[in-house]
Amino acid sequence: SQQGEEDPQALSIQEGENATMNCSYKTSINNLQWYRQNSGRGLVHLILIRSNEREKHSGRLRVTLDTSKKSSSLLITASRAADTASYFCATPAHQAGTALIFGKGTTLSVSS
Amino acid sequence: DGGITQSPKYLFRKEGQNVTLSCEQNLNHDAMYWYRQDPGQGLRLIYYSQIVNDFQKGDIAEGYSVSREKKESFPLTVTSAQKNPTAFYLCASKGTSGALSEQFFGPGTRLTVL
């Protein structure tokens, strides 16, 4: 049961450019989270946005949430080579306690 | 240092063998989770445990088993009944502040069937 779908699947940009990734989900949620995964590593939490929030910032990250469209976006400004990773959105798994449902992710490649 | 550890980092299994993946956390978290990740794919939930001595099946539990005898530990056994076990396995944990908190992930175990 996949809740979130990220778009695009892959994104290649130059250092200094902005990167925007989108996530769509299917059912009502009370929060949406974004995670980052470096190749072959575990996931690291980036940001959580509640359903009553429309926008949230954390450093170079900006997340928006549109519950009417069931979509979210993650913007990374002034990208760096170190931002190269896969990015996943995650939403609560209503039928599985406090577990999360993850999308397939967006693979971001930032070249210097 | 607080965190989640998984061992081993790489594991090779012959067909027909059972293998156990270790997951330990010292974050004092009640909830723990096992996910499977295939190449180019997202994470799929195998099993989860909200509290000691209790666990529930996730979306792809067939061929796997778990135990939760201690709060700190949530080992996953990949049995011979799992026909395609080659994958990257991730363990996670979460505190008791409800749904509005993050999951913490271990570094993962890469399992390969020979």
Looking at chain B, which runs of residues are DSSP E strands?
4-7, 10-13, 19-25, 31-37, 43-51, 54-57, 64-66, 76-78, 87-94, 104-105, 109-113
What does the pLDDT read at residue B41?
A: 82
User: Closest-CA residue in chain B for A107?
Assistant: B40
Put simply, the answer to whether A97 touches B56 (Cβ < 8 Å) is yes
Q: DSSP code of A112?
A: -
**Per-residue pLDDT tens digits for B63-72:** 999 999 999 9
Q: Could you tell me if A33 lies within 8 Å of chain B, comparing CB atoms?
A: yes
Q: What is the DSSP string of A51-93?
A: TT-SEEEETTEEEEEETTTTEEEEEE-S--GGG-EEEEEEEE-
Residues of chain A with pLDDT under 70: 1-3, 96
CB contact (8 A) between residue A97 and residue B31: yes
How high does pLDDT run on average in chain B? 92
Asked if B33 and B92 touch (Cβ cutoff 8 Å), the reply is yes
Stretch B87-111: mean pLDDT: 88
Residue B1 scores a pLDDT above 60: no
Cβ within 8 Å, pair A97-B50: yes
Q: What is the pLDDT of residues B14-24, one digit of tens each?
A: 988 999 999 99
User: In the predicted model, what is the mean pLDDT of residues B66-81?
Assistant: 96
Interchain pair B42, A92: CB under 8 A: no
Residue B99 is predicted with a pLDDT of: 59
Closest Cα of chain A to B105: distance in Å? 6
Say yes or no: B29 contacts chain A, CB-CB below 8 A.
no
Contact criterion met (CB < 8 Å) for A98 and B31: yes
Check residue A88 and give its pLDDT: 96
Q: Residue B97: what pLDDT?
A: 62
**Is residue A80 less than 8 Å (CB to CB) from chain B?**
no
Tens of pLDDT, residue by residue over B23-62, are 999 999 999 999 999 987 889 999 999 999 999 999 999 9
